[in-house]
Structure 1
Amino acid sequence: MKYENAQHLLPEHVIEIIQQYIDGGYIYIPRKAGRRASWGERTGAKAELTRRNREIYDSYRRGESIRQLAQRHYLTEQSIRRIIRQHKLKR
């Protein structure tokens, strides 16, 4: 997200209306509903977590213990169980 100067983008009468609510402060204007990217789509974080969780599930199915998986991935055993449970529900 980058900041833009309203004086460069908006008509003067619109700025005056906005100043009635917030004078000289910062305001966030969200994207339109249909144009929003889901969390992690732009950075690849979502895809990376999906890949990691699939790897965790596959390792568990091959016999690796929850404790071993938690230690290897630096997660709690509860998180590992949640990941495994979510993958079981998808099937």
Structure 2
Amino acid sequence: MKYKNAKIILPDALVKELQRYVQGEYIYVPIEQKQQKRWGEVSGYRKNLEQRNQQIKQEYQSGISMNCLAEKYCLSFYAVRKIIYQK
């Protein structure tokens, strides 16, 4: 996270109002909930996991056992089972 000088990006009136509450300290301004991305969306990891899970489901439907899939994908048997049975 990069810090920005409030005097540069905010109007003077707003800076003075903020100074009534806090001076010379850091404050965090959160992202609006509707603009916030879900976990893994920025890095693309969420999409990779979805593709992997789809591949696991397809391989299971083609006859590969859960134990073999667990070993192939370095997952526990229970993790593979959860992936296969999730809706």
Unaligned runs of 5+ in 2: none
Q: 1:31 to 1:62 in 2, by over 3 A?
A: same
2:20 match: secondary structure: helix
Moved more, 69-78 or 46-55: 69-78
Counterpart in 2 of 1:65?
65
1:4 aligns with 2:7: no
TM-score by length of 1: 0.73
* Identical residues among aligned pairs (%): 33
Structure 2 counterpart of 1:55: 55
Matches of 1:56 and 1:18 in 2, distance apart? Answer: 54
Which position in structure 2 is the counterpart of 1:19? Answer: 22
Residue type of the alignment partner of 1:62 = S
Residue deviations 1:46-72 (CA, integer Å, cap 9, x gap): 111110000011111111111111111
The equivalent of 1:81 in structure 2 is 81
For 1:43, the equivalent position in structure 2 comes to 43
> What is the alpha-carbon distance in structure 1 between the residues aligned to residue 5 and residue 74 of structure 2?
43
**What TM-score, normalized by structure 2, do the two folds share?**
0.76
Per the TM alignment, residue 18 of structure 1 is displaced from its structure 2 partner at its CA by: 4.1
Give the aligned CA root-mean-square deviation in angstroms. 2.1
Structure 1 runs of 4+ aligned residues shifted over 3 Å read none
Q: Name stretches of at least 5 consecutive residues in structure 1 with no aligned partner.
A: none
